[in-house]
């Protein structure tokens, strides 16, 4: 942005990022139950409580991103890094978050 001459307030720009879901994702990858992460970790500084649907959507979008990056890495021949992304994807894709339907 500085190279392009775009005036920016660095502090204001950094404050726009919301890392609150990082703790949720880490807990999920470590095997925490969905009920536990939605109650204890689900706080958004700007909006208050994080809804369960927001957590599900974030985890699903992250899994999709990891899958796409893994595919791109395989296509450029970096199989070692692609395997790491696949392992990360396996940690995320589990339990009720990725159930096809809650109604049986």
Tell me the per-residue pLDDT of 1-49, one tens digit each, with 9 for 90 and over: 778 888 888 898 888 887 878 889 999 999 999 988 888 654 544 555 6
The residues with which 43 forms a beta bridge, in sequence order, are 49
Residue 18 pLDDT: 77
Q: Is the dihedral of CA 89, 40, 51, 13 positive or negative?
A: negative
For 10-98, the fitting CATH number among 3.40.50.2020, 2.120.10.30, 1.10.3380.30, 3.40.50.300 is 1.10.3380.30
Q: Residue 48, class by beta-carbon neighbours within 10 Å (0-12 exposed, 13-18 middle, 19+ buried)?
A: exposed
Each residue's pLDDT tens digit, 62-95? 999 999 999 999 999 999 999 999 999 999 999 8
Q: Which residues face 49 on adjacent strands?
A: 43
Where do the H-state alpha helices sit in 32-78? 34-40, 52-76
What pLDDT is attached to residue 102? 67
């Amino acid at each position: 942005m500085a190279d392009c001459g775009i005036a920016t307030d660095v502090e204001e720009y950094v404050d726009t990022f919301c890392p609150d879901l990082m703790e949720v994702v880490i807990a999920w990858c470590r095997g925490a139950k969905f009920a536990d992460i939605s109650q204890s970790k689900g706080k958004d500084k700007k909006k208050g409580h994080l809804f369960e649907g927001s957590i599900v959507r974030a985890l699903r979008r992250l899994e999709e991103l990891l899958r796409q990056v893994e595919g791109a890495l395989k296509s450029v021949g970096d199989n070692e890094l692609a395997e790491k992304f696949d392992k990360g994807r396996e940690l995320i894709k589990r339990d009720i978050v990725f159930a096809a339907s809650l109604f049986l």
